[in-house]
Amino acid sequence: MASIDDVARAAGVSTATVSRTLSGRGTVSEATRRRVLDAASALGYVVSSRASGLASGRTRNIGVIVPYLDRWFFSTVLSGVSAALMRVGYDITLYNITADRAVRREVFDTFLRRQGVDAVIAVSIKLDEDETRQLLGLGLPVIAIGGPHPTLDTLSVDELAVARLATEHLLALGHRDIVYLGAGPEFDDDFHVPTNRRHGFEQALVAAGVPLDPTRLLAADFTIEGGHRAATALLAAAGRRPTAVFAASDEMAIGTILAARDLGLRVPEDLSVIGIDGHELGAVFGLTTVDQYPLQQGERAAAAALARLGEGDEPGASLPFELTVRGSTARV
């Protein structure tokens, strides 16, 4: 196995120059940098994270806490975090917070302390006072993605504004009989995203002078299957059919499009559908959505953590979103 001395001899430089080049923590000329990188590549030399940590006091490892691993949004945010950290030579230790309170407690009591991370990123998880205290007690930078937190640095999307934008798009197309497809209380624990999106929907209706109809507020589970079930029941029922559905996630919106097609309805001629997220399948289904750029959310969370560690610039705390109009919405 090649050593740093081997790389130094092959590149014709000192071991200190090799160290500065590979760590990115020193100034070297571009020509020298190229020689060192070429020599390291040819010899198959990789910097030992353990040795680097001993020298710098850093593990070059970021802990990331997520509530789900099998949901598109969370996996996409994780991809953004991972890509941004890998570019600068950082590893990730992933912690999946489950519904089991004992497992959750073990993460905060033991795992985070045992693994030795340089910073923590919490993705859309509502932390109670004790969990927040334990995180802050680590003495490490903690970045949260999600709703506002009184004591943690948080990157957040304005969920009210996101929902208003989606609803206003439908209203501008002349829709007045709009169903909001949200989620049940069990999905509202962390930062109340479904509730805030519903409030944004209601605010837009009130501002447009459209009466609120409680029967037009439905719940599913933020999945394609759940959206399909809820939309099938809605559209197959006797009575007045809505002209539009605003689904609080793209996956539920896609499920709604599939349900409409199953029932012989045309989208958008018979039913307009809009979602929120920016799901990768949105373009396939021609879905109009409010894109909240989850991949970039992960990248910005990683950048914020690195900035607290003195590596890179601080990103803004407010996360962007944008209306993307495709073929699933049309005028009444």
Supply the pLDDT for residue 235: 96
Structure tokens given for 174: 């002349």
Of the candidates 176, 332, 177, which has an alpha carbon nearest to the alpha carbon of residue 239?
177
Supply the pLDDT for residue 98: 73
Supply the pLDDT for residue 69: 84
> How many Cβ atoms from other residues are within 10 Å of residue 91's Cβ?
14
What's at 39, amino acid-wise?
A
Of the candidates 67, 65, 72, which has an alpha carbon nearest to the alpha carbon of residue 275?
72
Residue 308 dihedral angles phi and psi, to the nearest 5°: -65, -25
Supply the pLDDT for residue 26: 66
Going along the chain from its start, the domains and CATH numbers come out as: 4-47 (1.10.260.40), 59-157+295-308 (3.40.50.2300), 159-291 (3.40.50.2300)
CB–CB of 7/45 below 8 Å?
yes
Pairing of strands 322-324, 288-291: antiparallel
Residue 28 dihedral angles phi and psi, to the nearest 5°: -135, 155
Of the candidates 144, 156, 218, which has an alpha carbon nearest to the alpha carbon of residue 193?
156
Cα–Cα distance for residue pair 147/193, rounded to 1 Å: 8
Q: Using the Cα atoms of residue 112, residue 113, residue 116 and residue 121 in order, give the sign of their dihedral.
A: positive
Of the candidates 215, 168, 162, 170, which has an alpha carbon nearest to the alpha carbon of residue 191?
162
Supply the pLDDT for residue 54: 41
Q: Where are the alpha helices (DSSP H) in 138-223?
A: 159-172, 193-207
Supply the pLDDT for residue 47: 63
What's at 61, amino acid-wise?
N
Q: HSE, CB side, 13 Å, CA atoms: give it for residue 30.
A: 0
Cα–Cα distance for residue pair 113/133, rounded to 1 Å: 13
Q: What is the pLDDT along the chain (332 residues), one digit of tens a residue?
A: 678 888 889 999 988 888 778 766 667 888 898 898 898 888 888 665 445 544 445 678 899 998 888 888 899 999 999 999 998 888 998 888 877 778 778 887 777 777 678 999 988 887 778 888 888 888 889 998 887 777 888 898 899 999 999 999 999 999 999 999 998 776 665 557 788 899 999 999 999 999 999 999 999 988 999 999 999 999 999 888 999 999 999 999 999 999 999 999 999 999 999 999 999 999 999 999 999 999 999 999 999 999 998 887 888 778 899 999 999 999 99
- Give 216's DSSP letter: G
Q: Where are the beta strands (DSSP E) in 184-300?
A: 217-220, 244-247, 272-277, 288-291
The pTM (predicted TM-score) of the whole model is 0.78
CB–CB of 312/306 below 8 Å?
yes
Of the candidates 53, 52, 21, 19, which has an alpha carbon nearest to the alpha carbon of residue 34?
21
Supply the pLDDT for residue 233: 96
